[in-house]
Amino acid sequence: MRARTTGVIALQLTAIALAVVLVSGLGGCGGQADSVSDGPLSSGNGIHGPVPRGSICVPGGQAQTFGDQQFTNYGHRAVVLDRVVLLRPQNERLIGSYAVPGRLIVGTVPWPPTGSGLPSTWKNRRPVHGFRVSPGKSFNMVLGIEAVTPNRATSQGMLVYYHDSAGSYEAKNYYANIIAKNTHTC
């Protein structure tokens, strides 16, 4: 009978040790709320919808505006944008960025956007850093991009870093931005 009792106790101790390891492992990682991961902001159709893929190609020779991507806060809390970066840029750099509230897009025009062809929401543009997006609201991400060589310049999209009261996140968009010497080479 003693061997059976010892086996039960050993099994109970193993279960307790496993529970401690699991709890410690979760706590030691900092928890999901503090890690950069997918959150409520998306350029797709919903939180779990596909992220847009494709490309926009414009002629080189001047800085360009890429304002064709819209993001929506599908969460239940307001989010605040921290920064936007180009995804794997080659021969190009980000020279400016704005968040334009609403569902209208600026499109692709020379940087900085000017003129009468801009949507009425352009007057409400704000720098990306600190821009607040309420639940259910959308905005147009407008990037100023410059080629650093006369050759073909590309980025594979953008990463938007942001946070809400629960943690920090990143939203990806895979719509490539291409500046080419000749748009026939896109």
pLDDT in tens, 22-51: 333 333 333 333 334 579 999 987 766 667
Taking the model in full, what pTM does it have?
Answer: 0.78
Which amino acid does the sequence have at 11? L
Q: How far is the C-alpha of 131 from the C-alpha of 140, rounded, in Å? A: 12
Q: How far is the C-alpha of 153 from the C-alpha of 59, rounded, in Å? A: 10
Question: Closest Cα partner for 100 from 140, 67, 158?
Answer: 140
Q: Which fold has domain 41-185?
A: Immunoglobulin-like (2.60.40)
Question: Model confidence over 60-119: pLDDT tens digits?
Answer: 989 999 999 999 999 999 999 999 999 999 999 999 999 999 999 999 999 999 988 999
More confident site: 153 or 47: 153
Q: Domain residues of the chain, as ranges?
A: 2-30, 41-185
Q: How far is the C-alpha of 102 from the C-alpha of 137, rounded, in Å? A: 7
Q: What percent of the chain has pLDDT over 70?
A: 76
For residue 141, CA distances in Å to 61, 74, 81, 128, 185 come to 23, 16, 11, 8, 26
Q: How far is the C-alpha of 141 from the C-alpha of 143, rounded, in Å? A: 6
Question: Closest Cα partner for 143 from 183, 168, 178?
Answer: 178
